[in-house]
Structure 1
């Protein structure tokens, strides 16, 4: 190979700066450049010993690279494995070891390797060493401590979060960015770096500009690359698929377990824990869409399918696409005996092998250029993994083609109420990609982008996607007590999309259902033939569960829209307004419902006004129900509330505290006269905790 100008610059820089990162795009011959760096080193010292640390999947490739480009010819290469390490004596010019081997620490063998005195260490796909406290990172840090030359290779050096790059920075400048054997000291060092980064995001770029070279493949070898485009294939969830997803979504599970179960359901409901699902029938719409893609794409090329779930997936898909000569590679495939390379080469060269199903083991460092389509059945969790998948095919290699299509098959949650885990994960990847672009180039970004990279913005989006409906609605309304009409309007106006989301979810909120189970039977008994008024009625839970003509008044237009549309309350009248200024004539109703609303009113004046308004619109013998959350009141508050009801023209005919598992207080009121004209402060225990 004759060095291209950009490759010559890489080799010269790595040799002169001694600790250096070659971060060219995938397919730009980084491994060959690292061998050329070694050739220059070996020119000065013919006894140079080199160590290559790489993913297990590319060890055979590294042997080929060394045999092809190392000079002088005939240098010995020792493949260091669990089976061979006891035979290793350190005399070979080259030693190759994979990262997983270093993860075990092997009975002091790392110390033996260190004593051997390597002169040049090459760390391929160096982003695999992101956690300084991991055993493999400690092993690498120890091995890289003494050599004069350390060459780092990665097309995706920033794997996920900004803290992940600290190990990379340590390898490039160990004195400036120290690490030790103490996890506490390492944690403190990373935290200090993060603090510096937040004050000056350029700090990483300053180092990278000194110690890294990065080339865009399109700029340098675009003539040899296929064009590629990304297509998101959105599948709206419905039927049993949606039911199974909601079954798990509404369970109270550890977040890690819930995410894993939701991932399985999005791919194939039969993979999930069936004890969590009401209807156990297998549903897998993603497979059906994959069938269409395979049928279409194999007419002119080959399809590479990625899934990070292995059990129950890889074998099933291989059988499903047996007519397309499907082959598969997962973590079970033996690397040492060449089985993985044999399967890879079959996909590359056998015209009958039109489909390859792979887990993450083929994300890195291998040539899969026979593929004309890449299908992500499930998304990886980091931008680095996502880009590694695509660049397996979009690179110069054994096969040439004009284009590659990347299909992301994503489940879409119906409506606007929430996003599926797929949607939230995709948004997270794209947000983090934006920041990686900034760190690796001159791209500008906002503070929001920094939050995305650090996970402070994107991680909550993932958490929200797996929260139960109850949790989301409850978290939203937990901030509403005492805010009053003005505060509620400001909150709705500030974030109308969230208000809309909560409106969509509220009919499925168990707290609303339980409240309805309390007040609907009472309403039916008190006013079976009178029109009902539901104040702060939301979408109209009283009308929906009671099946009775109801006037529904609410401050949030989105709630009323859900009532008219989703709940189909055509027999009710909806009005946008506030409970402190009712748009109804005196004595219009025989029954008024004030459920989960009085505690939201402002304490100094508005609560009094609300009770006055309820009294005004009730008929002379009309009834009202007040439902409030028990935890907002103590016993003294309950006594005061009874006095306030009497003050504003009501007799309490019945009351119950801590009703139902949601703990609500119920008051059944009868209008006994006119309300007092003045207003008083009505403050409860929940208000006092908030300082109101």
Structure 2
């Protein structure tokens, strides 16, 4: 029998397990454990997650001191049990309500706001289009009205939704003057040093990409941090300025934020990226009292993505990524000899849910917004043109093809071949070189003919005066459609990368107000955070490999505000006998992994909802005769 107690370590309380050498390897496998040579034992963070994991590893072989048991009962009664009671409720029961919330909220939004208030550090994973922004602001409003010290707050979000956050903050906090950090790096720094000090503003809004320039980076694994000579007199880089130094305190480090909100929190799924580690740095500041993450798609590819998000929100419970994956993820080996995460490990699934669920709430739209119109999925199958098919077949079989312009389109590996095959499945292509004959300077330009765009024109004729969003992965394919519509003098709105915020918002406003009936967008530029509910149809000329991008794009049109439509039609234009068929299968696998975390199927079944819609999103495309794929 081993005994766990509480000790004080570096002015913080921690769990302590005396050294037990015959159990050394088992103890070392626990996420977040570290050896304390002075005490000759093992230290764990004092958290609900640590206690759950210790019980899961040692079963009946572990016992806890009265002090640990007292802490655990307090944690369970004040946070864990109320959260477990609330996390699955579409309405807020009176016995769980601690604050008064705005009457404009839907019942499920009041329950979500209460979940944020009580949990403190949590991930709100309601499905896209359910109004997560409103829940956050309602929670902050209620806390402020109750005299809680929750401001100033920073909102970190995609660049495309900074204006949306600014408008909503002004609506919920009329006296607030939210500061939107935008422009060049120099202009952003002027906002920190100008006459309006950010420290005196209750809200700061900043995009992910800018975070790494205005906050120090949190170290991670073996990733080294760039240091200036002032920070490291021996190994610091000569000539590295304080602005470029990754250890130097930056502007955001000097502002005592009480609340940190990460919108579209899946953007911090990569622990190696600088924007993730800059967000961690802001989230983990000692004065921060509430850490709230928002995303409808908490994983992009596999459950390992969840760790980085939750480490930002609750670092004590999600301390070590490798050990988290080893214990809670089912892994295998990929073709290159690397670790491939397959899904949640069935032996430890319930253990993971025990400490994830008190910080995780998700409401599917089908449960809380039954008034939304149903999704109707349609697949339009096209055939490649003769020369398109010839180039596609040669590139697939021989890794090169001669195009009509006499240039050679070649690839060097399977990955680059797949990218080029995806392009040729959409249209024909030409090749140009910056340096003649140097394949490293090659540019592939999509060109006519494109049977997919022929089919899009047919769809537009069929839709008549209906509003429609048309989206693709590649900007060049959208440009081909632009040229066709311009030639026919058909008005349209456009949202693509490189546009200014003003131009993007003007295009969206024209579409939403009915001044244009067609909106063209690339999935990266328009697929996140925007509302396009004027449309009752969205056409995918191409799908993204990212399950997140696909779901986000669909839910631009299927969300609160689309209630006026009888249905939302989602049309996929697929080319027969191409890699697009395999792409659909891979996306469907990612949807299955997402459901392991969100458990939407369980919620549907518990509430008597039709589960057939859950995996119909991409799998229904496979019901059509799309041919076979030769890899």
TM-score range, shorter chain: 0.5 to 0.7
- Other-structure match for 1:259: 418
Q: Could you tell me how far 1:4 is from its partner in structure 2?
A: 2.5
Partner of residue 428 from structure 1, selected from 559, 562, 586: 586
Q: Equivalent residue of 2:369, what SS?
A: helix
Distance 1:187 1:430 in 2: 26
Q: Could you tell me how far 1:210 is from its partner in structure 2?
A: 1.3
- Other-structure match for 1:94: 203
What TM-score comes out, normalization by structure 2 length? 0.63
> Do the aligned partners of residues 204 and 362 (structure 1) sit closer, same or farther apart at CA in structure 2, a change above 3 Å counting?
farther
- Other-structure match for 1:134: 273
Gaps of 5+ in 1: 180-185, 414-419, 445-457, 459-464, 473-692
1 or 2, which has the higher helix percentage? 1
- Other-structure match for 1:13: 115
- Other-structure match for 1:234: 381
Partner of residue 78 from structure 1, selected from 176, 179, 182: 179
Gaps of 5+ in 2: 1-102, 215-242, 332-343, 400-411, 434-438, 603-618, 620-625
1:589-612 superposed Cα distances (whole Å, 9 cap, x missing partner): xxxxxxxxxxxxxxxxxxxxxxxx
- Other-structure match for 2:319: 178
Assess if the C-alpha contact under 8 Å between 1:329 and 1:359 holds in 2. no
> Do the aligned partners of residues 329 and 355 (structure 1) sit closer, same or farther apart at CA in structure 2, a change above 3 Å counting?
closer
Which moves more between the two structures, 200-209 or 143-152? Answer: 200-209
Question: Is residue 201 from structure 1 mapped to residue 349 from structure 2 by the alignment?
Answer: yes
Distance 2:303 2:313 in 1: 16
- Other-structure match for 2:45: none
1:263-662 → structure 2 map (5 Å cutoff) = 263-270=422-429, 282-297=448-463, 299-310=464-475, 312-322=476-486, 323-335=489-501, 338-397=502-561, 400-413=564-577, 420-441=578-599, 443=601
Distance 2:127 2:395 in 1: 40
> Do the aligned partners of residues 427 and 21 (structure 1) sit closer, same or farther apart at CA in structure 2, a change above 3 Å counting?
same
Distance 2:156 2:461 in 1: 40
Distance 1:442 1:216 in 2: 7
Q: Equivalent residue of 1:293, what SS?
A: helix
Higher relative contact order (CA 8 A, sep 6+): 2
Distance 1:363 1:409 in 2: 18
1:35-55 superposed Cα distances (whole Å, 9 cap, x missing partner): 122223334345721000001
Partner of residue 35 from structure 1, selected from 132, 137, 145: 137
Distance 1:246 1:273 in 2: 21
Q: Could you tell me how far 1:235 is from its partner in structure 2?
A: 2.0
Q: Could you tell me how far 1:273 is from its partner in structure 2?
A: 6.9
Q: Could you tell me how far 1:288 is from its partner in structure 2?
A: 0.8
- Other-structure match for 1:149: 290
Q: Equivalent residue of 1:405, what SS?
A: strand
> Do the aligned partners of residues 400 and 433 (structure 1) sit closer, same or farther apart at CA in structure 2, a change above 3 Å counting?
same
Partner of residue 168 from structure 1, selected from 309, 313, 317: 309
1:580-630 superposed Cα distances (whole Å, 9 cap, x missing partner): xxxxxxxxxxxxxxxxxxxxxxxxxxxxxxxxxxxxxxxxxxxxxxxxxxx
* Count of residue pairs the alignment pairs up: 430
Distance 1:399 1:334 in 2: 30
Distance 2:576 2:352 in 1: 37
> Do the aligned partners of residues 47 and 34 (structure 1) sit closer, same or farther apart at CA in structure 2, a change above 3 Å counting?
closer
Distance 1:95 1:143 in 2: 12
1:251-284 superposed Cα distances (whole Å, 9 cap, x missing partner): 342233212211211111125679999xx99431
What TM-score comes out, normalization by structure 1 length? 0.58
Distance 1:271 1:95 in 2: 46
Q: Could you tell me how far 1:443 is from its partner in structure 2?
A: 3.8
- Other-structure match for 2:85: none
Distance 1:2 1:358 in 2: 34
Q: Equivalent residue of 1:409, what SS?
A: strand
1:280-319 superposed Cα distances (whole Å, 9 cap, x missing partner): 994311111111111112x141121111111x33332122
- Greater radius of gyration (CA): 1
Partner of residue 60 from structure 1, selected from 163, 166, 171: 163
Distance 2:384 2:155 in 1: 47
> Do the aligned partners of residues 240 and 38 (structure 1) sit closer, same or farther apart at CA in structure 2, a change above 3 Å counting?
same
Distance 1:375 1:468 in 2: 23
1:109-120 → structure 2 map (5 Å cutoff) = 111-120=250-259
Distance 1:64 1:95 in 2: 13
How well do the aligned residues superpose, as a CA RMSD in angstroms? Answer: 3.0
Distance 2:359 2:297 in 1: 15
Q: Could you tell me how far 1:405 is from its partner in structure 2?
A: 1.0
- Other-structure match for 1:249: 396
1:402-435 superposed Cα distances (whole Å, 9 cap, x missing partner): 222111111111xxxxxx2100111111122123
Distance 1:142 1:208 in 2: 22
Runs of 4+ in 1 over 4 A off after TM superposition: 103-106, 186-193, 271-277
- Other-structure match for 2:262: 123
Q: Could you tell me how far 1:191 is from its partner in structure 2?
A: 5.0
